[in-house]
Chain A
Amino acid sequence: MTLHFPSSMPRFVRASVLSALTFTLIPACGEDTSSNPTTLSVTERQELNQRISELEAEVTRLEGQLAEQQQQQGATEQEKQALSTELGSLKQQLAEARELLASQDWDGVLVKLEAAQGEVERLKGVLAATDGALSLNAGLVFGSAPFALDQTFTTAGGDSLRFTELRYWLSNVKLRKQDGTKVALANSYHLLEVIKAQAVDGTSSPATLPANRREQVDMVAVPAGVYTGIEFSIGVDPTYNDDLSRQAGELHVLKNMTSSAWMWFTSYIFTKTKGQYVKVDGTSDTFAWETGTNADYRTVNLDFTAPVTVNSQKQVKVNLRADVAALFTSLSPRTTPTINASSATERATLSDGFKAMFSVVSVDNSNR
Chain B
Amino acid sequence: MNRHTLRHAAWGLSTLLLGACGGGPEALPPGSSPEVLPVGFTFLPQPEDNPLTQEGVELGRWLFHAPRLSGNGQVSCATCHVQEHGFSDGVARSTAGVTQHPLSRHTPALVNLAWMEGLFWDGGAKNLESLSLAPLTQADEMGQADLEGMMAGLSADPDVVRRFEAAFGPGEPTLGKLLRGLAQYERTLVSARSRYDRWRRGEPGAFLTEQESRGLALVRQRCTPCHDSELFTDNAFHNNGLDERFGQGEDVSRGRGRVTLRDEDAGRYKTPTLRNVAVTAPYMHDGRFATLEAVLLHYRGGMVRSATLDGAFLREGQAPGVTLDDAEAEAVLAFLHALTDEAFLSDPSLGPPDAP
A residues near B (Cβ < 8 Å) are: 200, 202-205, 207, 242-247, 253-254, 258, 260-261, 263-266, 341-342, 344
How many B residues are at the interface, by size bracket?
Answer: 20 to 34
A249 to B54, CA, bound (A): 29
Q: Is the CB of A342 within 8 A of B146?
A: no
Mark B189-206 against chain A: 1 for CB-CB distance below 8 A, else 0: 000000000000000000
Q: Is the CB of B126 within 8 A of A263?
A: no
Known A260-B137, A264-B134; contact A245-B249, beta-carbon cutoff 8 A: no
- Taking the complex as formed, is B125 at the interface, i.e. its CB lies under 8 A from any CB of chain A? yes
Among the 9-residue stretches B38-46, B94-102, B173-181, B208-216, the one with 4 or more Cβ atoms under 8 Å from chain A is B173-181
- Taking the complex as formed, is B161 at the interface, i.e. its CB lies under 8 A from any CB of chain A? no
A339 to B133, CA, bound (A): 23
Q: Is the CB of A264 within 8 A of B259?
A: yes
A51 CB to closest chain B CB (Å) equals 40
- Taking the complex as formed, is B148 at the interface, i.e. its CB lies under 8 A from any CB of chain A? yes
Which A residues lie within 8 Å of B144 (CB)?
Answer: 202
Known A264-B124, A265-B259; contact A244-B146, beta-carbon cutoff 8 A: no
| CB-based closest 4 A-B pairs | A264-B124, A245-B179, A245-B129, A266-B126
- Taking the complex as formed, is B49 at the interface, i.e. its CB lies under 8 A from any CB of chain A? yes
Q: Is the CB of A244 within 8 A of B179?
A: yes
Q: Is the CB of B148 within 8 A of A200?
A: yes
B residues near A (Cβ < 8 Å) are: 47, 49-50, 120, 122, 124-127, 129-130, 133-134, 137-139, 144-149, 174-177, 179-180, 183, 249-250, 258-259, 261
Q: Is the CB of B258 within 8 A of A342?
A: yes
Choose among A203, A245, A260 the residue that contacts B148 (Cβ–Cβ < 8 A). Answer: A203
Q: Is the CB of A205 within 8 A of B146?
A: yes
A205 to B176, CA, bound (A): 20
Q: Beyond A243-B47, A243-B126, A266-B124: 11 further Cβ-contacts under 8 Å?
A: A242-B130, A245-B50, A245-B130, A245-B180, A264-B120, A264-B259, A265-B124, A266-B126, A266-B127, A266-B130, A342-B249
Known A242-B126, A243-B129; contact A261-B176, beta-carbon cutoff 8 A: no
Which A residues lie within 8 Å of B179 (CB)?
Answer: 244-245
B134 CB to closest chain A CB (Å) equals 5
Choose among A200, A205, A260 the residue that contacts B138 (Cβ–Cβ < 8 A). Answer: A260
Can you spell out 22 A-B residue pairs with CB atoms less than 8 angstroms apart?
A202-B144, A202-B147, A203-B147, A242-B126, A242-B127, A242-B130, A243-B126, A243-B127, A244-B130, A245-B179, A245-B180, A246-B129, A260-B139, A263-B130, A264-B124, A265-B259, A266-B124, A266-B126, A266-B130, A341-B250, A342-B249, A342-B258
Q: Is the CB of B180 within 8 A of A202?
A: no
Known A244-B133, A263-B133; contact A204-B124, beta-carbon cutoff 8 A: no
Q: Is the CB of B259 within 8 A of A203?
A: no
Which B residues lie within 8 Å of A266 (CB)?
Answer: 124-127, 130
A207 to B176, CA, bound (A): 20
A244's nearest neighbour on chain B, judged by CB, is B130
Which B residues lie within 8 Å of A244 (CB)?
Answer: 129-130, 133, 179
Q: Is the CB of A243 within 8 A of B146?
A: no
Which B residues lie within 8 Å of A253 (CB)?
Answer: 133, 147, 175
Choose among A205, A258, A260 the residue that contacts B149 (Cβ–Cβ < 8 A). Answer: A205
B75 CB to closest chain A CB (Å) equals 16
Which A residues lie within 8 Å of B125 (CB)?
Answer: 263-264, 266
Which B residues lie within 8 Å of A207 (CB)?
Answer: 148
A253 to B174, CA, bound (A): 11
A347's nearest neighbour on chain B, judged by CB, is B261
Q: Is the CB of A260 within 8 A of B176?
A: no
Known A247-B176, A260-B137; contact A254-B147, beta-carbon cutoff 8 A: yes
B257's nearest neighbour on chain A, judged by CB, is A342
A231 to B76, CA, bound (A): 45
Which A residues lie within 8 Å of B149 (CB)?
Answer: 203-205
Known A242-B130, A245-B183; contact A203-B145, beta-carbon cutoff 8 A: yes
A263 to B249, CA, bound (A): 15
Choose among B137, B139, B148, B176 the residue that contacts A263 (Cβ–Cβ < 8 A). Answer: B137
A230 CB to closest chain B CB (Å) equals 28
Which A residues lie within 8 Å of B176 (CB)?
Answer: 245-247
A254 to B50, CA, bound (A): 21
B252's nearest neighbour on chain A, judged by CB, is A264
A200 to B147, CA, bound (A): 10
Which A residues lie within 8 Å of B174 (CB)?
Answer: 247
Q: Is the CB of B259 within 8 A of A202?
A: no
A342 to B254, CA, bound (A): 11
Q: Is the CB of B50 within 8 A of A204?
A: no
A248 CB to closest chain B CB (Å) equals 10
